[in-house]
Amino acid sequence: MRTLISTAFISLDGVVEAPGGEPGYRNSGWTFKDVEFLPEAFEIKGREQGEATAMMMGRTSYEAFSAVWPDMEEFADYKVMPKYVVSTTLAEENLVSNWGETVILRSLDEVAALKETEGGPIIIHGSATLNQALSDAGLIDRYHLLVFPLLLGAGKRLFSTTDKDTQKLRLVEHEAYANGLQKNVFDVVR
């Protein structure tokens, strides 16, 4: 069974929208304009590329990432690994040709079936709506969260507001950095 890992830059109040400067959000770019950059706080991002064997995202994140990540040296490991896009609307002809193998999954049942296959961890970047659906369905196994010391107010959240049973998490790794960032790695307790 494969491990599904959600990785996110997240504000203290739970916002994950437009951390890298994506247009259309009032506080866009909050990860680099409001907090001092410390390389050691982002060590986990390089480790994720080395440990993941596939990448998953929703349509919106795929469209944003596939436009720039294939040509970025810092994401070279992702270029060669398989990618899965969970979408009911993305068409095969809209997939980019310069980013390696990409498979479109049309449902959470297909994600669950993928998890049952042989292989290593699958990392989920961005994809707030997908993260909420996967979490609510009990499909996420681990969270890699870099928590920024910011309150952003409105914006897309990592977790849904669905009324559901408590989901227990076990902290397996954590660190606080001089710039106020906190790394928190949680396993979902089943």
Position 20 pLDDT exceeds 90: no
Average pLDDT estimate for 35-63: 95
Alpha helices in 6-71 (DSSP H): 30-33, 43-51, 59-65
What pLDDT was estimated at residue 43? Answer: 95
pLDDT digits (tens, 9 = 90+) for 89-127: 999 999 999 999 999 999 999 999 999 999 999 999 999
DSSP string, 97-151: SSS--EEEE-SHHHHHHHHTSSS--EEEES-HHHHHHHHHTT---EEEEEEES--
**128-171 pLDDT, tens digit each:** 999 999 999 999 999 999 999 999 999 999 999 999 999 999 99
pLDDT recorded at residue 176: 98
Q: pLDDT grade, residue 87 (50/70/90)?
A: very high
- What pLDDT is attached to residue 34? 81
Residue 50 has a pLDDT of 93
**What is the structure's pLDDT at 66?**
95
**pLDDT the model gives residue 172:** 98
Can you give the pLDDT at residue 1?
A: 93
C-alpha 141/C-alpha 114 separation (Å) is 14
What pLDDT is stored for residue 9 in this prediction?
Answer: 97
In this structure, what DSSP letter does residue 15 have?
A: B
20-29, 54-63, 79-88: the lowest-pLDDT one: 20-29
Share of the chain above pLDDT 90, in %: 93
The answer to whether the CB of 48 falls within 8 A of the CB of 5 is: yes
- Contact status, residue 149 vs residue 130, Cβ threshold 8 Å: no
Residue 175 β-bridge partners: 183
Distance CA 83, CA 190 (A): 26
Tell me the residue ranges of DSSP E strands in 13-105. Answer: 54-58, 83-86, 102-105
Distance CA 19, CA 105 (A): 25
Rounded Cα distance between 129 and 126, Å, is: 9
Name the band, by pLDDT with cuts 50, 70 and 90, for residue 10.
very high
Report how far residue 153's alpha carbon sits from residue 17's, in angstroms, rounded to the nearest whole number: 11
User: Mean pLDDT across the stretch 60-85?
Assistant: 93
- Model pTM? 0.95
Closest-CA residue to 2 (of 77, 104, 112, 102): 112
Q: In angstroms, what CA-CA distances link 34 with 145, 148, 158?
A: 18, 9, 20
Per-residue DSSP letter, 44: H
